[in-house]
Amino acid sequence: MPEKFLMTPPIDRSDNIIKNHLFRRQFSLKHLKKKVDDEVVEDLPLKTHIVIIFSEKCKQSTCEDVEKVIQEHGLNTELEILSKTEKFLYVSATTETLLKLADEHGLTKKTVTGTMQRFNRYSVNTFLVGDMTEDDLVINSEAPRLIKDTIKPSLMSYFRNGSIEDFFPLHDIDYLNKFTFKVQRKLPIEDIRNYFGSSIGLYFGFLESYTNALVIPTIFGFLQYYFDFSLVTVCAFYMIWTTVFLELWKRRCSTFSYRWGTIEMTSLDKPRAAYYGDLKPDPITGKMIPHYPMKYTYMQMYLVSYPVVFLCAIASMYFAIYQFQIEAEVLHDFGPDSKLLYVPVIVQSVLIAIFSWAYEKLATFLTVTENHRTRCQYDRHRVNKLIIFEIVNNFFSLFYIAFILCDLKQLKYQLMMQLIIFQLVCIAQEIGIPLMAVIRQKITKYMHTEMDEEQRSNVKDINRYEQSFFEGGLDKYTSTYEDYLQICIQFGYVVLFAAVAPFASLGALINNICAIYIDLFKLCNIFKRPFARRAKNIGAWQSGFEVLSVIAVVSNCGLLYMQDEVRETVGKKFPTMPALTFIIFEHLLLVIKFILHKAIHERPRSIRVAQLIDEHETHQALKHLKSLTAVRKNK
């Protein structure tokens, strides 16, 4: 075995992303070949689902304690202590154990009759659709998640005292091939969900829908520019487009979440690990779980968090206004050609960056103290706070220029500048983050002392060791927050001032096409594999986009009114109430928006029918079994 790896020692493989990619390809080919070579493998070793890396200070006895704790849950473990810095614990599970966990966690799976039912380990056959085997029932992303949910609560003390340094699922290198650029033509959303979980699956689903939808305003933008549409048309068009797009996405989203078995998730599901409170029996399942009074959460939210958020938003507004004043003063004192004009802009940019960073910490802190029960709730409330601030931060100065200074020319200039800077930052982030990762790995390389041949021979499964070591050095994927935020702000630039920026959607379209592939590449190559997160929708982002689409109606109508020629024409026609016409027009658009919103049902009929079929089947099965029991008793 060891000879195979002599030419390329393991450490080299982690030194940069390109080599890593090559390594993976090689590995995968080798693996494939091996499979073909000895087709009848009697005793295939269990697949390692999770790797636990212990910290340097952790003693061997502690490692063994952890192993015992995990084994108590019926999981298989393998402890490998190579040196002081390299202590790995590999966690795996037999199919039987996984099925038991799937049953306990109430996963929803498709049955042979085509309905979605909660998985039941006593009737496994019902869930074996087509040529599935029992091994395929718990999919790639679910196994690590199930194991994590099972063992994490008992390991909390080891996390807290720092014995466990890292805890992550291993990448499945065969599966990753599905995401290489060449193979795919359409975005493989089902595979992404199977591999990364439904939360990331929905992100890509949304990004794809949004990118496709952007084609329409791009074409409209060209027409608007060449044929010089009236602004009334532009307002109406964007109102309809944003509303229909967001409603259709909701329908598509529910199709996904139905198929993925997450549509029935509620805020009363199993609490997240960090949720604290008195241990009480859960009213639903009767298990002992922490219980934190809702009133404290609400008090914290409405009396502390949101007031703070609004203060920050107002502070941000004042800051923007103050900047305009300083700029005006500098212009007045030093004239328009002075290089001093750049000073306030630069100072402000730096301050905004610091302010944003501090605000994110603050929002996270506030949301943590609110102590939401589920991960989805936590994310939603955190994102809510961040969106409010980001919208103010990004768009307030534009509103100020448009409606308080009433300066359309400066608005166009400022909008263009902001848009260009925003796109540049996006590109920089998308290329910069991989670059940073490479540099980091270089440093890791120097820090790492090479392993000698003797140790190498101690390693049981050299591939697994290498993969664990390499992936342990990768960055942790935190959440989809940054990615969604980028699309959300971009959406704002596309719709809020569409009346004066017809080509914003073209830029967004190009940017998004690249973003899809870069995001997927980053997930596969520069981050540790994330634990799958279940999600039934895109959470607070749906509201974020909806809020922007409502503001867009107001702002575009405002822009319409700002146009001098329009104001004059209307003023002549209706001399008593030029503003009234605009108010009526704006309210009319909002009413139509609301009607569209109501008329398009959140879930397609087929999904609603399917849900009722599922429910009916459950009740019929129950009735049937009960009648059998009744007959038996009577006998």
Give the residue, chosen from 283, 447, 452, 565, that forms a contact with a second copy under the rule CB under 8 A. 283
CB 197 within 8 A of CB 536: no
Whichever of 215 and 625 has its CB closer to a second copy, that residue is 625
Read off the amino acid at residue 330: V
CB 468 within 8 A of CB 170: yes
Give the residue, chosen from 25, 100, 110, 118, that forms a contact with a second copy under the rule CB under 8 A. 118
Please name the residue ranges forming H helices in 402-461.
Answer: 408-447, 453-458
Smallest CA-to-CA distance from 2 within 466, 579, 472 is with: 466
Count residues contacting a second copy (CB under 8 A)? 36
Task: Report the Cα 42 to chain-centroid distance in Å.
Answer: 40
579 binds a second copy (CB under 8 A): yes
Here the contacts of 538-542 (C-beta below 8 Å, separation 24 or greater) are 538/202, 538/203, 538/206, 538/253, 538/484, 539/376, 539/379, 539/380, 539/383, 540/379, 540/380, 540/381, 540/383, 540/384, 540/387, 541/206, 541/383, 541/387, 541/484, 541/488, 542/246, 542/249, 542/250
Look up tokens 């060891």; give the residue: 2
609 binds a second copy (CB under 8 A): yes
Site for a second copy in 397-436 (CB under 8 A): 403
575 binds a second copy (CB under 8 A): no
Whichever of 44 and 599 has its CB closer to a second copy, that residue is 599
Provide the mask over 523-562, with x wherever binding to a second copy is found by CB under 8 A and - wherever it is not: -------------------------------x--------
Give the residue, chosen from 409, 572, 605, 635, that forms a contact with a second copy under the rule CB under 8 A. 605
To a second copy, the closest distance from the beta carbon of 612 in angstroms equals 5
To a second copy, the closest distance from the beta carbon of 404 in angstroms equals 9
End-to-end CA distance of the chain: 66
122 binds a second copy (CB under 8 A): yes
Specify the stretch interacting with a second copy by CB under 8 A; choose among 8-16, 37-45, 204-212, 619-627.
619-627
Specify the stretch interacting with a second copy by CB under 8 A; choose among 202-210, 422-430, 457-465, 625-633.
625-633
To a second copy, the closest distance from the beta carbon of 627 in angstroms equals 4
123 binds a second copy (CB under 8 A): yes
To a second copy, the closest distance from the beta carbon of 489 in angstroms equals 20
To a second copy, the closest distance from the beta carbon of 138 in angstroms equals 18
Give the residue, chosen from 1, 132, 215, 284, that forms a contact with a second copy under the rule CB under 8 A. 284
Give the residue, chosen from 56, 525, 608, 635, that forms a contact with a second copy under the rule CB under 8 A. 608
To a second copy, the closest distance from the beta carbon of 374 in angstroms equals 13
94 binds a second copy (CB under 8 A): no
630 binds a second copy (CB under 8 A): yes
Give the residue, chosen from 71, 113, 266, 457, that forms a contact with a second copy under the rule CB under 8 A. 266
Torsion sign over Cα 170, 175, 177, 181: negative
154 binds a second copy (CB under 8 A): no
120 binds a second copy (CB under 8 A): yes
How distant, in Å, are the alpha carbons of 35, 220, 512 from that of 224?
A: 59, 6, 22
Whichever of 122 and 446 has its CB closer to a second copy, that residue is 122
How distant, in Å, are the alpha carbons of 52, 94, 196, 374, 576 from that of 477?
A: 16, 27, 11, 19, 60
Specify the stretch interacting with a second copy by CB under 8 A; choose among 206-214, 365-373, 427-435, 577-585.
577-585
Smallest CA-to-CA distance from 342 within 324, 327, 325, 320 is with: 327
Q: Any residues with CB less than 8 A from the CB of 189 and at least 6 apart, and which?
A: 201, 204, 205, 208, 256
629 binds a second copy (CB under 8 A): yes
Q: How far apart are CA 16 and CA 6, in angstroms?
A: 19
181 binds a second copy (CB under 8 A): no
59 binds a second copy (CB under 8 A): no
Q: How far apart are CA 379 and CA 543, in angstroms?
A: 13
**Residue 519 C-beta-side C-alpha neighbours within 13 Å:** 25
**Which tokens belong to 50?**
């999770």
Smallest CA-to-CA distance from 394 within 491, 525, 484 is with: 491
55 binds a second copy (CB under 8 A): no
Q: What is the dihedral of CA 442, 446, 452, 453, to 10 degrees?
A: 20
Specify the stretch interacting with a second copy by CB under 8 A; choose among 154-162, 172-180, 463-471, 617-625.
617-625
321 binds a second copy (CB under 8 A): no
In our burial notation (b when 16+ CB lie closer than 10 A, e otherwise), range 383-413 reads bbbbbbbbbbbbbbbbbbbbeeeeebeebee
Give the number of other Cβ atoms within 10 Å of residue 555's Cβ.
Answer: 24
Q: How far apart are CA 377 and CA 539, in angstroms?
A: 8
Site for a second copy in 221-250 (CB under 8 A): none
294 binds a second copy (CB under 8 A): yes
280 binds a second copy (CB under 8 A): no
Give contact residues for a second copy (rule: CB under 8 A).
103, 106, 118, 120, 122-123, 266-268, 283-285, 294, 403, 554, 579-580, 583, 587, 605, 608-609, 612-613, 616, 618-619, 621-623, 625-630
